[in-house]
Amino acid sequence: MKSNNLLKIIKNNTKLEKIKSFKDHAIKAVLEGDVSLLFPKLISLQDARGGALSKCGYGIQFLLLVTLSILNKLQTISDQRGETGVFVNEDTGERSISVVLGLDEPEIHLHPYMQRSLIKYLNKVINNEDSDLKLLIKELFGIDKLDGQIIIATHSPSIYIS
């Protein structure tokens, strides 16, 4: 579909209202007026072959989502609590933040190998053994380490083993 045709459809929502779920929930297509809101929509995550993240398996998507969720929560804590969310070791000056990672049945998204990989990775994260992520957290939030634990509700023996 050409962009001119798409713009016509967007401007004339009566075509979209022919789709029941659009009509029932009063969903409309609009042109974004605030340019700053467009930038996140212009960036896409791709694999090494240039394929869209949405074309990757659910396991890979889930692993990425978990890591991005951790960073998102750290950002939220940083924004809402500022320095009150950070613990500073008076002897070493090391800055840490307390984290509890909770996962509800991650096996739904992952085959057994990926389940074990996820748990090993999260253990590395929570024990500050992933040097790249640790450096990223330091750069983004000024945090030297995470102090925390992982709580998982699961029925998977692969996760129990890990």
Same-domain pairing of 13 and 65: no
Same-domain pairing of 30 and 95: no
Structure token pair of residue 87: 């613990």
Other CB atoms within a 10 A radius of the CB of residue 125 amount to: 21
Same-domain pairing of 84 and 36: no
Same-domain pairing of 115 and 63: yes
In a domain, 48, yes or no: no
Residue 39 contacts by C-beta under 8 Å, 6 or more apart in sequence? none
Residue 111 contacts by C-beta under 8 Å, 6 or more apart in sequence? 59
Residue 111 is given by DSSP the state -
- Please give the residue range of the domain that contains residue 9: 3-42
In a domain, 96, yes or no: yes
Are the C-beta atoms of 148 and 126 separated by less than 8 Å?
A: yes
Q: Give residue-wise pLDDT tens across range 60-104.
A: 888 888 899 999 999 998 889 888 889 999 999 999 999 999 999
Could you give the number of structural domains in the chain? Answer: 2
Same-domain pairing of 128 and 65: yes
Same-domain pairing of 91 and 156: yes
Q: Give residue-wise pLDDT tens across range 124-154.
A: 999 999 999 999 999 999 999 999 999 999 9
DSSP-derived 3-state class of residue 139: helix
Same-domain pairing of 62 and 140: yes
145 exposure class (CB count in 10 Å sphere: 0-12, 13-18, 19+)? middle
Are the C-beta atoms of 100 and 148 separated by less than 8 Å?
A: yes
Same-domain pairing of 67 and 124: yes
In a domain, 47, yes or no: no
In a domain, 119, yes or no: yes
E strand map for the chain? 87-88, 95-104, 145-153
Are the C-beta atoms of 122 and 69 separated by less than 8 Å?
A: no
Same-domain pairing of 91 and 154: yes
> Against a cut of 0.85, is the pTM above it?
no
113 exposure class (CB count in 10 Å sphere: 0-12, 13-18, 19+)? exposed
Q: Give residue-wise pLDDT tens across range 1-55.
A: 455 666 665 666 666 677 777 778 887 777 777 777 777 777 777 888 888 888 8
